[in-house]
C-alpha cells in the first residue's frame, strides 16, 4: 500500500503539514514518492486574446508550468532521502480530476493530501479537492488534518 505514494500539493500550509507526516512514515516501506502540482486551469479563464494565441498557450504551456516545476522541486527538497525515489510532476487542468487520473495512470498505491488548501475558509473542515479525491479515488486516500 505504501510502495508508490502520490502527494498532490498546492504549496499551502496544509500541504506543508502533510510533508511533516510523510517524514514520520519512514517505517512504512515507501519506495517512491510522487509530488504533483496541478496548474489550475480555472484560475486563468479561457477567453483567447486572439484566435492564434490563447491564454493557455501564453501561460500554462509556458512560464507557469516551468516556474511551478521549479517551485515544486525546491518545496520537496526536505523529503529527499537515500531510500526513497522522488519524482516531481506538473500537469494542468482541474485539480481533482487530474489527481485521480494521475494516480491511475502512474499506478500509485496511495494518495496522501491535506484536508484543506489555499482557500482560507476557517469554518470549513475539508476543501473541495480533498473531498472529491477522497470520494472518487480508486486507491486508498489519507486526508491529513
Partner 1 sequence: MFTKILFPTDFSEAAEKAKDKLVEMSKCNIGEIILLHVVDIRIFSYSTMLDIIEVDNWKKDGKLIKELNRKLDAWKDELEKAGLKVSTEIKEGIPFDEILKYSENNGVTLILLPSVGHGVVERMLVGSTAEKVLRKSKVSVILLR
Ligand X SMILES: Nc1ncnc2c1ncn2[C@@H]1O[C@H](COP(=O)(O)OP(=O)(O)OP(=O)(O)O)[C@@H](O)[C@H]1O
Which residues contact partner 1 by CB under 8 A? 1-2, 21, 24-25, 27-29, 115, 125-126, 131, 134-135, 137-145
Residue pair 4/32 in contact (Cβ under 8 Å)? The answer is: yes
What mask, x for binding ligand X by CB under 6 A, covers residues 9 to 38?
A: xx-x-xx--------------------xxx
By CB under 5 A, tell whether 117 contacts Mg ion: yes
The one of partner 1, ligand X, Mg ion, none whose footprint includes residue 29, by CB under 5 to 8 A per kind, is partner 1
Name the minimum Å distance from CB 4 to ligand X: 17
Cα(87)–Cα(94) distance, integer angstroms: 21
Residue pair 81/19 in contact (Cβ under 8 Å)? The answer is: no
Q: Counting beta carbons within 10 angstroms of the beta carbon of residue 145, is it exposed (0 to 12), middle (13 to 18) or buried (19 or more)?
A: exposed
Residue 134's H or E segment, with its range, is helix 128-136
The one of Mg ion, partner 1, ligand X, none whose footprint includes residue 1, by CB under 5 to 8 A per kind, is partner 1
| Total residue count of the chain as it appears in this document | 145
User: Which residue of 22, 108, 129, 137 would you call a contact of ligand X, by CB under 6 A?
Assistant: 129
Cα(70)–Cα(92) distance, integer angstroms: 15
**Interface segment toward Mg ion; rule CB under 5 A; list 1-9, 71-79, 98-106, 112-120:** 112-120
Neighbours of 121 (CB within 10 A): 9
Residues in region 69-108 near ligand X by CB under 6 A: 95
**Binding-site ranges for ligand X (CB under 6 A):** 8-10, 12, 14-15, 36-38, 40, 95, 113-114, 116-119, 127-130
Amino acid at each position: 500500500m505504501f510502495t508508490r505514494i502520490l502527494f498532490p500539493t498546492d504549496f499551502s500550509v496544509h500541504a506543508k503539514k502533510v510533508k511533516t507526516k510523510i517524514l514520520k512514515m519512514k517505517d512504512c516501506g515507501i519506495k517512491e514518492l510522487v509530488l504533483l502540482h496541478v496548474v489550475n486551469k480555472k484560475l486563468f479563464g479561457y477567453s483567447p486574446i486572439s484566435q492564434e494565441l490563447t491564454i493557455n498557450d501564453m501561460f500554462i504551456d509556458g512560464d507557469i508550468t516551468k516556474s511551478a516545476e521549479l517551485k515544486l522541486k525546491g518545496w520537496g527538497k526536505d523529503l529527499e532521502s537515500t531510500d526513497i525515489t522522488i519524482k516531481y510532476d506538473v500537469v494542468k487542468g482541474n485539480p481533482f480530476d487530474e489527481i485521480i487520473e494521475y494516480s491511475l495512470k502512474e499506478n500509485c498505491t496511495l494518495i496522501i493530501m491535506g484536508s484543506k488548501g489555499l482557500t482560507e475558509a476557517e469554518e470549513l473542515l475539508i476543501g473541495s479537492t480533498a473531498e472529491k479525491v477522497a470520494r472518487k479515488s480508486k486507491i486508498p486516500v489519507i486526508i491529513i488534518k
